[in-house]
Every structure is written in structure tokens, then in C-alpha cells.
Chain A
Amino acid sequence: MRLLALASRNLKETYRDPLALGFLLAFPLLFMVLFGAILSETDTNYIDFIAPGIIIFGLLILIPTSARIMVSDKEKGFLSRLLTTPARPLDFISGYSLCLVVIAIAQIIIFIAAAWGFGMDIVGSLWLAFLIFLLTGLSSIGIGMVVASLSKSENQAEPLCWLFSMPLAMLSGCWFSVEMLPSYLRNVAYAFPFAHAIDASRAILIRGVGVEAISNDLLFLVGWAVGIFAVGVILFRRSMRG
């Protein structure tokens, strides 16, 4: 009951905030529309290539969103108020996580529908692609949780997140192929889950490959999602103790 009450509150705080909703949904969709329009005259298949990258970019925006929700509650004393109730620290963390996972699922569904609407030719398993996207979302939430634990205010957390997310989006191949990068930057890109997620989702959606063909990327994504989520939970729990 506590978990649902907290998750529902966090969801309302997000979807009733036009700015948050704009960043989470409208911003990536705008990229999709712009790239679609720019490239519609030159290469009719470019949407197939660009859509998975933009979906991952949308999920990368979960980093600042997760950090903002949690840091804002810390900064405004709302978390302190809740800590004077019988709710346990794990209730709060689960409440934030559940809300953010729901947001990630909504993002994935909306972005896939939008990509299809822009003419993307989906040939592979949507379920497998969904799994890849969900693991990417979990990694973003975990990173956001780590940033929230280390920041004292929204003013600290937001620039830190963008400083991290934007170069990572570029390096991971959200807008162009990672193959264009020099090898040392490619190594940096593949140290994070997002380049793996883009490669795997492109392979599934465009080429229709199965789980065996993307097993390495999938394992890497599972490892990252579990690892960063665990670190995020430990750090955030510690930061709640003041």
C-alpha cells in the first residue's frame, strides 16, 4: 500500500508537470520529426536507422528526470517529512523506481508507435526490442539515482546529468553510426550500455535478428542495469540517512 501510494504520488508529480513531460516525450519526438523531415528527401530508409537511436536518446533523458524527482524531494524537505512516517527507506526507493519504470514503459510504447508512424519498417521481435529498451531505461534510472545521491540540489543535479547524457548520446550513436568514431572514442562508447542498446535494437528491428545474435549486448545490458541500479539504491539509501 505504501509503495503504491508513493509511486502514484511520484507519477502525478511528473505527468502534471508540463516541463517534465515535455522533456520526457516531446523533446525526443521533436528530434524524430526533425530528422524524419530533414532526411525524407534523401534516404527513405533513414528513419529505420535513426528511430532506435532516438528511442535510446529518449530513455537517456530518464537520467535527469530520475535525478530531478529524487533531488527535488530531498531539497524541498518532502523526503525528510516522509522519513518521519513509518515508511521505510526501501519503500521510498521502490516508490521512485516503480514510477520511473512506468514512465520508461510509456516512453518506449510512444516512441515505437511514433517511429512506426513515421514509416519505420519493423521486421523483428517487438518484445525483444522492448526488453532491450527496458534494460536501457533501468540503467538510466540507476544513473539518475546515483546522481541524486551525490547532489544536494536540483541546481547541482541537472547540469551534471546533461553534462553526462548529451555527450553520451552523441558517442553512443543516437544520431549517427558509432563506426564514424575514432577507435578510442568507440571504446568509451562501448563502456556504457547505450551504444550496445542501439546496436542490439537496430539489429532486432531492422534486420529481424533473434536473441542469439544480440546475446553479448543483452548480457552487457543486464549487467549494467543490475549493477548501476544496485549502486544507486545503496547510495540513495545512505544519502537519506543524512
Chain B
Amino acid sequence: MTEASDDLSIQALNLTRIFNGLAAVDGINLNIKKGELFALLGPNGAGKTTTINMLCCLLKPTGGTARIMGYDILEEPFEVKQVIGVSPQETAISEHLTPEENLNLIGRIHGIDARELKLRTRELLETMGLGERAKDQVRKFSGGMKRRLNIMMALVHNPAVLFLDEPTLGLDPQARRAVWTYITRLKGLKTILLTTHYMDEADFLADRVGIMDRGKIVALGSSRELKTSLLEKHTMVIYAWNLTQRVISEMRGRYARVEVSDGTMTVTDKKLDFKEIIDLLHASGAVVRSAYIKEPTLDDVFLHITGKELRE
């Protein structure tokens, strides 16, 4: 085992992958602590899957290296593969096998004792809500059920580190929520590296988020940190009656940006005092029906850093 910090499960050290002269992953450095759920967020083609593929020894880096639970991905791939579980972007399952048989296959490859494997399989199927369908062939399952099985297959050998590549890709909102629930149950028990291009997914699930664009990690921190530290402006949205031209002009004199459309006023500035704005409007005779400070999203953060939107 190579030298590494005891607290870290995943360490990427100047990890680079070049395809045909273009850097798909461009020298990323990353430290993920044991038990942490870390999300790599970015648009399609940002380099998220290439990063995961290198970390789980599917793809050799062109430069740099990484350590998983202290094992070097270049020097000790066999050891790395023993401590990781991978749920790929595709639902990579055997369609003519039952969920039980799919789980048994992975367990047997990992050399798990038959009795223990039976217990783990049963427990996983029950926990993930597929207990009643354990003997049915997977090809009859819905997309959400297949996604859950995809994750279970990464868990059956009880790995220390779990890689989830776009775990809810193509699912309807209800099925996505169900998958989120199962992932939430694993928080703290495993180190999880999740890739997603859904900002709400990263926001909801992750302890920390790394925003990726063009092969680089362009921002790193907790969702709250990213949203508060990187955004210099705040936005307040007010629905009101009787907005006079006079008060609109006064507001425009005080704040950086004021837009009014169909009785909705949007005020944007570096600093906003909620009470002060409401009092000003009341004093002008406007009737405020509702008002709120618009929470910045990770999409706003992405827009702020890269100048483009994070497309979902």
C-alpha cells in the first residue's frame, strides 16, 4: 500500500486523460474523506465519467495518478478493484437473470462465501424494495427498478468506496426521488463519489460538490458554500399591486437592477435588506402580496463561473 492520509478514501493527484490531443480530464486534484458523499457536477462532456473510469481502473490516465483507500490505481489496480463498487451510467445488468442471480454473480466474482452472500443479497433486495421481485427476470422491470439493481450490484460485496455514475439518468421524478432515498441511506456508511448533471441531485445528496467544466474542477465546496461565497449578488422577488412609476424610479436609484413585469418586481444587488424594501413599497401605497429572497442555485454558480448555463 502506498503512503496516503488515513482520513482519505479517494485522492486524485494531477489526474489527466488526453483523447486525440484534447484533455478530457485536465490535471484534477481531489481529496475525498472517508464516509463523505461527493458529487461531481457538470454538463455532458465535462469529464465526469472519464474521471470515474480512471478512478475505478477502467481507463489508464495519461498523466498523474490517484489513490483509492491508499491503493494506487496504476500500481495496485487489483487491490483497488477489491475495495470499490461501481454503478455505471448504463444499467449494466443481465436482463435474462433475476436480481438475485445478478447480485450472486458479482458476489461470487468477489469471492464471498455462499452463505454470507445469500444473507447480503436478501438484505439488499429488501432494503432497496425489490424483495418481492427477487425471482423475476430483470427484463420485465421498470427503469427505476433496474437503476436500483444497478446500485445494488455495486454494493453486494460491501465495498468501502462507491462510484455512482449518473445514478438517476433518464428516470422520471418519482423514480429519481426513490433512488435518492436509497443513496441517502448509505450516507456516512460508505465513501460515495457520484457524478451528475442534475444540479438538484448534487444539491440534495452531496456533502461537497465539485463543479467540472472542460476537464477541470472549477469550483469545490459544500453546496451552501458554493452558493454563498461565489455569488456576489442577491435577488428579491416581490408580487405587488399599485406599483407606481415613482416608487419604481426610486428603487432603481437605490439598487443595481430593478425589473418590473406583470405586477412582479425583481430586485438584484450585492446587498438587499428585505424589511427596508417592503417598508419602502408600503410607504408608496403599493400592496405587497408576497415577497421572497430568491435562493441562488448551483446553476447560478455554474453560470457565474463559466458564463454558461448548466443544461439539464
Is B86 a contact of A1 with CB atoms below 8 Å? no
Is A85 a contact of B58 with CB atoms below 8 Å? no
Is A12 part of the binding interface, using a Cβ–Cβ cutoff of 8 Å?
yes
Measured CA separation A4–B92 after assembly (Å): 20
Question: Knowing A12-B96, A12-B97 touch, does A81 contact B86 (C-beta < 8 A)?
Answer: yes
Is B58 a contact of A242 with CB atoms below 8 Å? yes
Q: Which of B89, B97, B109 contacts A85 (CB 8 A)?
A: B109
B82 — which chain A residues lie within 8 A by C-beta? 86
Measured CA separation A5–B106 after assembly (Å): 9
Is A86 a contact of B86 with CB atoms below 8 Å? no
Is B92 a contact of A80 with CB atoms below 8 Å? yes
Q: Which of A2, A13, A86, A91 contacts B81 (CB 8 A)?
A: A86
Measured CA separation A14–B84 after assembly (Å): 29
Is B78 a contact of A86 with CB atoms below 8 Å? yes
Is B253 part of the binding interface, using a Cβ–Cβ cutoff of 8 Å?
no
Q: How far is the CB of A175 from chain B (nearest CB, A)?
A: 33
Q: How far is the CB of B169 from chain A (nearest CB, A)?
A: 12
Is B307 part of the binding interface, using a Cβ–Cβ cutoff of 8 Å?
no
Q: How many residues of B contact A (CB 8 A)?
A: 28
Question: Knowing A1-B108, A81-B153 touch, does A12 contact B101 (C-beta < 8 A)?
Answer: yes
Is B109 a contact of A78 with CB atoms below 8 Å? no
Is A76 part of the binding interface, using a Cβ–Cβ cutoff of 8 Å?
yes
Type the 1/0 row for B109-132, where 1 means its CB is closer than 8 Å to any CB of A. Answer: 111000000000000000000000
Is A87 a contact of B109 with CB atoms below 8 Å? yes
Is A84 a contact of B94 with CB atoms below 8 Å? no
Measured CA separation A85–B95 after assembly (Å): 19
Is B58 a contact of A83 with CB atoms below 8 Å? yes
Q: Which of B84, B88, B101, B105 contacts A77 (CB 8 A)?
A: B88
B59 — which chain A residues lie within 8 A by C-beta? 242
Q: How far is the CB of B150 from chain A (nearest CB, A)?
A: 9
Is B66 part of the binding interface, using a Cβ–Cβ cutoff of 8 Å?
no
Question: Knowing A9-B101, A17-B96, A242-B59 touch, does A84 contact B81 (C-beta < 8 A)?
Answer: yes
Is A85 a contact of B110 with CB atoms below 8 Å? yes
Q: Which of A12, A81, A242 contacts B88 (CB 8 A)?
A: A81
B295 — which chain A residues lie within 8 A by C-beta? none
Measured CA separation A82–B81 after assembly (Å): 10
Measured CA separation A16–B59 after assembly (Å): 33
Measured CA separation A13–B104 after assembly (Å): 15
Task: Please provide the chain A residues from 65 to 81 with a CB less than 8 Å away from any CB of chain B in the complex.
Answer: 76-78, 80-81
Is A6 part of the binding interface, using a Cβ–Cβ cutoff of 8 Å?
yes
Is B40 part of the binding interface, using a Cβ–Cβ cutoff of 8 Å?
no
B104 — which chain A residues lie within 8 A by C-beta? 5
Q: How far is the CB of A80 from chain B (nearest CB, A)?
A: 6
Type the 1/0 row for B32-67, where 1 means its CB is closer than 8 Å to any CB of A. Answer: 000000000000000000000000111100000000
Task: Please provide the chain A residues from 1 to 55 with a CB less than 8 Å away from any CB of chain B in the complex.
Answer: 1-2, 4-6, 9, 12-13, 16-17
Measured CA separation A49–B91 after assembly (Å): 48
Measured CA separation A137–B100 after assembly (Å): 32
Name A75's closest neighbour in chain B (CB-CB).
Answer: B90
Is B56 a contact of A86 with CB atoms below 8 Å? no
Is B105 a contact of A16 with CB atoms below 8 Å? no
Q: How far is the CB of A61 from chain B (nearest CB, A)?
A: 19
Q: How far is the CB of A9 from chain B (nearest CB, A)?
A: 5
Is B238 part of the binding interface, using a Cβ–Cβ cutoff of 8 Å?
no
Residues of B bordering A, CB below 8 Å:
56-59, 78, 81-82, 84, 86, 88-90, 92-97, 101, 104-106, 108-111, 137, 153
Closest 9 CB pairs of A and B: A77-B90, A5-B108, A77-B92, A16-B96, A81-B92, A84-B86, A78-B92, A84-B56, A85-B109
**Could you list 8 A-B pairs, sorted by A, with CB under 8 Å?**
A12-B96, A12-B97, A12-B101, A13-B96, A16-B137, A81-B92, A86-B78, A242-B59
Residues of A bordering B, CB below 8 Å:
1-2, 4-6, 9, 12-13, 16-17, 76-78, 80-87, 91, 242
